[in-house]
Chain A
């Protein structure tokens, strides 16, 4: 039982960070029907920024806001330079374009910084542990969960209560109708990229404190998790993205446990295989994801 609860806590911790990225992916899909495979590269940008600053002795209190700003500015910049040109193209083209940007980003980091891992110091306090009853917590875990809850709540509040949020939700519902009602396309799309960028930056700050390294391809895996979480939840649905992220995080932790029991501990690599099989099964049963967003085509 204790093991079960501990697993659940770990899973929710991981899953809540997936949710930060997944909400960004879902937001962007909502306003321009793009599954943004380049979204994970914001982590990479923030990581190299952190490496640059940390190795020069900058305090984490300054690094974190700078990393978040970097992610936000990059997100908006990529939208302005690349995605704006192909707005309204079919989803296939949009997806592949973001994909090309992801590969380009990997190649550029390799080209200009080198493919070796860059390591920097993690903040020591993040790994202090404390005990509550039978459960062991790391400061980082708690910080991650609290930060995520705060961020997601803030995002929900912005979307529900501000004019900007209303514009985003209206655009996700029916972009053309929203434009006719006076929503400015450039502003709302740029805003969605900015918000997604901030969430990605926060994710980056949290995950970098834990890993302490930067490398060219580091964005690929979190991105994949985020895209899967967003699709599991139902693209365009923000609650869906959160639930999808948490579900994925919890599923991974539990599957890892069971795979160890069934196949022996050296088969830990099978975890991803089993998780992907479960995801495929989910898509077969519910192709539209858990939360159905009204995407039925007009006839």
Chain B
């Protein structure tokens, strides 16, 4: 199994890298034809585009995989460029430029290749530190931290004059001879980005990009994925930054300003942030387009000179793309797909069958809640619920609207921190972040669907299976294709999950939760919004899937027909408390339940009017 997975990783990475390198070669070919015999300005444009490629692909590794917007990545370029310059500029030159430089750095003069590598290393170290700082944050706060990081770096570069010569430059930066090194850097960036994309941590990051909560419920720790993505991307952007200063022969703060950060970000967004090909296409389009508009603005052939043309082009292009194709020009298309399509068929054939859970798990662990409750402000959503679900049991949880059913599931899965009581699984306490609880063996679905929208149906399930392989290895493995087949999704496996209809998305969520090899599946209204026939089909489906992985089930639902036919026992909640528990027949006859649903006057009700 492990071998299959690592060979999949290698073949997919190879396909993505090959496809995108072919794309780079194509662009480069055009560039060389344009550059040959042209002025040195043309040569410079090609060099400029290649260095931009390294930076934008580096940016793609972070933004594209994690979905966290960063304004600050050029700071890594700045750090690497200054490090390279300080180490490699000739000592005689530094004595003139930086007479008061600290740490005796004046005397240092090392090989430019080593200096470049040390520059990249410095960017990686700072990236790791920033990653630790940012671990707790997401969304806008994370974006603003990257922005603050850029400004802090810029302020240091401008004001620590003894070390950086401030707004003046450190000139005479030596360079790695010939363009071969730059091409090598581009190839390295493509390969690293491809490898990250198909690595386990990269795929976890993409799941988190699509839905933070659902990723957590699959046992994915987003702090880890974001940290890893930041470190890799810091290294690549650092490499690009160092190359830029070398090719210009000088380093100063304006090379890594906020304005330029915006431009590289625009390149990524225009092409499509989710794929490497998107980064490549966007970089080339913006670099070339800006140059064309610069030429136009300079007034060729007697035309008047106009300022601001390149910026105008950039803004208009970015705006047009965002308003018409928010996912970028390429969306999810990657040149690697062309190469991968061939691999896929053989891969599936060779994956073979794996045995799965026996269905009975008498030896498993019970899910226990002991006085679990939460109060929001003054409102007690769940008072103190105690409940025990035996291994392999299918338990229903019903109650009127606002009874606290979903909140109870959120408490069990750690998505809402409990203010009192505790929960345990097989005697060991269930506590901590949602991903930690998921790893202990509690998987869930969501009432308002949370599939990983832009990932394929297969990848939705596969990413959970991958998480299980790491964190639930003691349970028998589950075959992804088997799960897709019993869920009726085999034919839809290659479609993006967002394109599925409602019922299929619900089945996909259940399949994804099952792929985590859980002890218990917590299903939050699996038939909500379904027709009667669909609900009926869902009964068999839940039983099959739970049996396949040998999991117990705790199911919330409004459909009493569904609940009574699927559950061994039912627990009834009202006003955040358990008011009844027993077999479906016992519960239906319970006066407290009848009172909760219809008011105390009602002494007899037809079963089909008891709506959960």
In-complex Cβ contact of A299 among B139, B147, B262, B410 (8 A):
B410
**A233 to B307 CA separation, bound complex (whole angstroms):** 38
B318 at the binding interface (Cβ < 8 Å): yes
A107→B319 contact, CB < 8 A = no
**A287 to B68 CA separation, bound complex (whole angstroms):** 14
* Chain-B contact segment, one of A87-95, A143-151, A177-185: A87-95
Residues on A with C-beta less than 8 A from B140 are 35, 91, 231, 235
Known: A280-B148, A283-B137. A273 touches B307 (CB 8 A): no
B415→A97 contact, CB < 8 A = no
**A297 to B215 CA separation, bound complex (whole angstroms):** 14
What is the size category of the interface that chain A forms with chain B?
Answer: 35 or more
**A280 to B148 CA separation, bound complex (whole angstroms):** 6
Residues on B with C-beta less than 8 A from A95 are 69
Residues on B with C-beta less than 8 A from A101 are 315, 319
Say how far A198's CB is from chain B's closest CB, in angstroms.
Answer: 25
The chain B residue sitting closest to A99, CB to CB, is B262
In-complex Cβ contact of B312 among A85, A90, A111, A277 (8 A):
A111
Say how far B217's CB is from chain A's closest CB, in angstroms.
Answer: 9
* Chain-A contact segment, one of B116-124, B155-163, B390-398, B482-490: B155-163
B312→A108 contact, CB < 8 A = yes
**A235 to B311 CA separation, bound complex (whole angstroms):** 30
**A228 to B140 CA separation, bound complex (whole angstroms):** 11
Known: A277-B152, A299-B447. A270 touches B159 (CB 8 A): yes
B286 at the binding interface (Cβ < 8 Å): no
Known: A96-B318, A97-B322. A284 touches B136 (CB 8 A): yes
The interface bits of chain B over 293-331 (1 if a CB of A lies within 8 angstroms of the residue's CB, else 0) are 000000000000011110110111011001100100000
Contacting A at CB under 8 A, from B137-176, are 137-142, 144-145, 147-149, 151-152, 154-156, 158-159
**A94 to B315 CA separation, bound complex (whole angstroms):** 15
B326→A106 contact, CB < 8 A = no
**A137 to B387 CA separation, bound complex (whole angstroms):** 68
The chain A residue sitting closest to B132, CB to CB, is A284
In-complex Cβ contact of A279 among B134, B144, B306, B450 (8 A):
B144
In-complex Cβ contact of A269 among B137, B144, B159, B312 (8 A):
B159
Contacting A at CB under 8 A, from B225-280, are 262, 266, 269
The chain A residue sitting closest to B307, CB to CB, is A110
B67 at the binding interface (Cβ < 8 Å): yes
A288 at the binding interface (Cβ < 8 Å): yes
The interface bits of chain A over 268-283 (1 if a CB of B lies within 8 angstroms of the residue's CB, else 0) are 0110111011011001
The interface bits of chain A over 237-250 (1 if a CB of B lies within 8 angstroms of the residue's CB, else 0) are 00000000000000
Residues on B with C-beta less than 8 A from A288 are 141
**A86 to B415 CA separation, bound complex (whole angstroms):** 30
**A283 to B136 CA separation, bound complex (whole angstroms):** 9
Residues on B with C-beta less than 8 A from A104 are 312, 315-316, 319
Say how far A229's CB is from chain B's closest CB, in angstroms.
Answer: 11
The interface bits of chain A over 251-282 (1 if a CB of B lies within 8 angstroms of the residue's CB, else 0) are 00000000000010001011011101101100
Residues on B with C-beta less than 8 A from A263 are 159
A100→B156 contact, CB < 8 A = no
A103 at the binding interface (Cβ < 8 Å): yes
B133 at the binding interface (Cβ < 8 Å): yes
The chain B residue sitting closest to A267, CB to CB, is B159
B346 at the binding interface (Cβ < 8 Å): no
Among B142, B307, B316, chain A packs the most CB atoms within 10 A around the CB of B307
B39 at the binding interface (Cβ < 8 Å): no
A114 at the binding interface (Cβ < 8 Å): yes
A115 at the binding interface (Cβ < 8 Å): yes
**A280 to B450 CA separation, bound complex (whole angstroms):** 31
The chain B residue sitting closest to A271, CB to CB, is B155
A106→B311 contact, CB < 8 A = yes
B137→A287 contact, CB < 8 A = yes
A86→B308 contact, CB < 8 A = no
A56 at the binding interface (Cβ < 8 Å): no
Residues on A with C-beta less than 8 A from B314 are 103, 107
**A276 to B159 CA separation, bound complex (whole angstroms):** 15
Residues on B with C-beta less than 8 A from A277 are 148, 152
The chain B residue sitting closest to A111, CB to CB, is B308
Residues on A with C-beta less than 8 A from B309 are 107, 111
The chain B residue sitting closest to A29, CB to CB, is B140
Residues on B with C-beta less than 8 A from A231 are 140-141, 144
Among A96, A106, A263, chain B packs the most CB atoms within 10 A around the CB of A96
Say how far B17's CB is from chain A's closest CB, in angstroms.
Answer: 27
Say how far A48's CB is from chain B's closest CB, in angstroms.
Answer: 15
B311→A110 contact, CB < 8 A = yes
The chain A residue sitting closest to B143, CB to CB, is A95
B149→A287 contact, CB < 8 A = no
A82 at the binding interface (Cβ < 8 Å): yes
Residues on A with C-beta less than 8 A from B141 are 231, 283, 287-289
In-complex Cβ contact of B318 among A103, A108, A274, A297 (8 A):
A103
A276→B148 contact, CB < 8 A = yes
A106→B137 contact, CB < 8 A = no
B151→A284 contact, CB < 8 A = no
**A296 to B318 CA separation, bound complex (whole angstroms):** 31
Contacting B at CB under 8 A, from A220-238, are 227-228, 231, 235
Residues on B with C-beta less than 8 A from A91 are 139-140
A191 at the binding interface (Cβ < 8 Å): no
Say how far B426's CB is from chain A's closest CB, in angstroms.
Answer: 25
**A15 to B147 CA separation, bound complex (whole angstroms):** 21
B159→A280 contact, CB < 8 A = no
Say how far B184's CB is from chain A's closest CB, in angstroms.
Answer: 32
Among B141, B156, B406, chain A packs the most CB atoms within 10 A around the CB of B141
The interface bits of chain B over 496-527 (1 if a CB of A lies within 8 angstroms of the residue's CB, else 0) are 00000000000000000000000000000000
Residues on A with C-beta less than 8 A from B415 are 299
The chain A residue sitting closest to B308, CB to CB, is A110
A86→B326 contact, CB < 8 A = yes
B448 at the binding interface (Cβ < 8 Å): yes
B213 at the binding interface (Cβ < 8 Å): yes
**A109 to B315 CA separation, bound complex (whole angstroms):** 13
Residues on B with C-beta less than 8 A from A115 are 307-308
A216 at the binding interface (Cβ < 8 Å): yes
The chain B residue sitting closest to A277, CB to CB, is B152
Residues on A with C-beta less than 8 A from B322 are 86, 93, 96-97, 100
Say how far B227's CB is from chain A's closest CB, in angstroms.
Answer: 14
Residues on A with C-beta less than 8 A from B326 are 86, 89-90, 93
**A110 to B297 CA separation, bound complex (whole angstroms):** 12
B204 at the binding interface (Cβ < 8 Å): no
Q: Which 8 A-B pairs have the closest CB atoms?
A: A273-B155, A110-B308, A104-B315, A287-B141, A107-B311, A107-B312, A103-B315, A280-B148
* Contact sample, A vs B, 13 pairs, CB 8 Å cutoff: A86-B322, A107-B314, A109-B308, A111-B308, A111-B309, A267-B159, A270-B156, A276-B151, A276-B155, A283-B144, A284-B133, A299-B406, A299-B415
> What 15 additional pairs, Cβ within 8 angstroms, besides A85-B323, A270-B155?
A86-B323, A96-B322, A101-B315, A110-B307, A111-B309, A227-B144, A263-B159, A269-B159, A270-B156, A280-B144, A283-B141, A284-B145, A287-B138, A299-B213, A299-B410
